[in-house]
Amino acid sequence: MSFWGAMVITSLLGAIPLIGNDVLFLLWGGYSIDNITIYRFYSLHYTLPFVILIVAVLHLFFLHEFGSSNPLGVISKFDNIPLFPYYSLKDFYSIIVV
């Protein structure tokens, strides 16, 4: 079943003009879907959540470190709202509700 699913989804890339067949060959690892293709997709599905988690943590770190900007470009420490407790508690409440 995973072979057919991979065949249908990846064959959509073959419709890209000029480079579609080359992209498809690189993605499949050959001229058709084989075990290597399934292993690549499994590896991608396994590692992608960890990459997203790392990027989200880095984003929160830099947001906490430097703060967010505003559209007017006014730089004032008096107008800032601290990340903790206001936004942290709001995000925690949202997670609990969901």
Confidence of residue 1 (pLDDT cuts 50, 70, 90): confident
Residue-wise pLDDT for 52-85, tens only, equals: 999 999 998 888 777 767 666 666 666 667 777 8
Contact 39, 30 (CB under 8 A): no
- Residue 34 region, left (φ>0) first, then alpha (ψ -120 to 50), else beta? beta
The C-alpha atoms of residue 34 and residue 62 are separated, in whole angstroms, by 42
pLDDT at 77: 67
Picking from 47, 51, 37, 49, the residue whose alpha carbon sits closest to that of residue 9 is 37
Of residues 92 and 82, which shows the higher confidence score? Answer: 92
**Cβ burial, residue 33 (10 Å; 0-12/13-18/19+):** buried
- Entry pTM: 0.60
CA distances from 58 to 15, 50, 51 (A): 36, 12, 11
